[in-house]
Structures are given as C-alpha cells and as structure tokens.
Amino acid sequence: MVAGVQFEEPKSNDDLLCKEGMDELLKECFFRALNLVSETAKLPLLTSTFYSAFMLPQCPTGMRLDVKKSSYKKLSQFLRMMHELGVIRVQETMKGVESITNIDFDHPSINNISSPASSSASAVGTTKLVRDIYVSEFYSPSHKLLPLFHCSGYDKSSLLSATQVRESIKLYVEQNQLQSATNKSIDSATRGTSESNFRCCCIGSNTM
C-alpha cells in the first residue's frame, strides 16, 4: 500500500467464470424465448414482459437467471447488443419504455438453439437412468408349513420378511404351549421349519 494510492484487487477466476456462465445462460434463455414468442405473443412486446414471461421460464431447473451477475449488468444492455446483431429490433414505444418491435426468425443464431421440449425430454430420460436399485428378500411358506402361519393370518400367497417368519413361529409355539425346558421334542408343524421349505422371492425397487 502506497500513501494516497489504492490498488484494486484482481478479480478472481470464480468471478470471471460466474459472469461468463451467466452470459451463456442469458443467451440460451433469450433465444429459446424468441421461439416461444413466435407461437404465443404479438409484437410489439414490452422488454420487461419478454424477460419475466418468456425468458425466465426457459431457465433450466436448478439454475437462476440473473442479469445483474452477467457482464451486461442490465437487460437493456443485453437487448441492445442483440439489436445491433440484427436478431431483434428494440424501440422506445413510450418515454422510458422499450419494446421489441421485430424479430428476425431467419437469423442463424435462432435456428441453432434446440427447443426446450427436446432438452426437457433429454433431461427426463437422464433422470430416469440415475436411480439406485435395492433388492429385498422375502419368504413364502410351502404347503406343509402353512399351519405355522395361519395363527398370524398368513396364507400361501403371503410374502414374509425374515422377521415376520420368526415372529410367526414364536407365536405358534406360544399358542400351542410348546415351550418346555425338559421336553425338546417338536410337533409335526415345527418339524419342517427349515429354509428348504420356504420359497424365496427377491423383489427390487427403485428409489424416486
């Protein structure tokens, strides 16, 4: 620091990238909005209406269009540049009020922009592919094991988790008073409770 002199700190790369990125987003939304104007609006069209009703809705999901963060700083400056390029014609229709009075739909810059519909379809397709898959294992009792599960309200069409199988067998044992510290014998129903007497079913599910 020199007395009486202040040095401006250089702009960071993040600031430059932010402006460049916002410039590109501004142009993309602008050209897509022009295609929408051709189908739904009549000229002249207030520049403020064009920005709020046509440009902003073209901004991709998760992004925010902000002219102040672009190198143009103001919408009027950006539209003036497009006027000079011959894409649109901007005129002051009333004192202090500017409107778009003409659009050159044959301009190559307009034709090079893909439609929002196709971009949205592509984005949706990509989203559908990016999902995790989980597999859960369930058990269905065979015919000879059904008596074990009738007391719990299950039948041969039921799909049970390992916890449900364990709780059902526990309930059967309690209801039939099969808990004995001295008699370790098992009845005909519990005799078949091996994993081989269950039909295993794996079910996958997608997270949304």
Please check whether residues 70 and 170 belong to one and the same domain: no
Residue 198: domain span: 133-179+189-206
- DSSP letter at 185 equals -
Q: Is residue 1 in some structural domain?
A: no
Q: What's the confidence (pLDDT) of residue 201?
A: 52
Same domain, 122 and 143: no
Q: Which residues contact 51 (CB under 8 A, 6 or more apart)?
A: 67, 75
Indicate whether 122 and 21 sit together in one domain: yes
Domain presence at residue 168: yes
Residue 8 lies in a domain: no
Contact criterion met (CB below 8 Å) for 73 and 56: no
pTM of the model: 0.48
Same domain, 124 and 202: no
On whether both 88 and 153 belong to a single domain, the answer is no
Least confident of 14-18, 90-94, 164-168: 14-18
**Residue 128: predicted pLDDT:** 40
- Is 2 contained in some domain? no
Let me know whether 58 and 23 are in one domain: yes
Average pLDDT over residues 42-59: 91
Please state which of the ranges 23-27, 127-131, 150-154, 177-181 shows the lowest mean pLDDT. Answer: 127-131
Of the residues 85, 109, 128, the one at which a domain ends: 128
Sign of CA pseudo-dihedral 180, 181, 182, 188? positive
The alpha-helical segments, DSSP class H, found in 64-161 are 75-84, 108-111, 116-129, 146-150
Do the beta carbons of residue 207 and residue 131 sit within 8 Å? yes
Three-class SS state of 181: coil
- 98 and 38 in a common domain: yes
Residue 153 CA to residue 93 CA, distance in Å, equals 78
Distance CA 97, CA 78 (A): 16
Is pLDDT above 90 for 160? no
Q: Average pLDDT, stretch 156-176?
A: 77
Q: What is the CATH number of the domain that holds 52?
A: 1.10.10.2030
166-172 contacts at long range (C-beta below 8 A, 24 or more positions apart): 169/193, 172/147, 172/148
Amino acid type, 140? S
Q: Are residues 31 and 113 in the same domain?
A: yes
Name residues whose C-beta falls within 8 Å of residue 59's C-beta, 6 or more positions apart in sequence: 25, 29, 65
State mean pLDDT over 45-49: 91
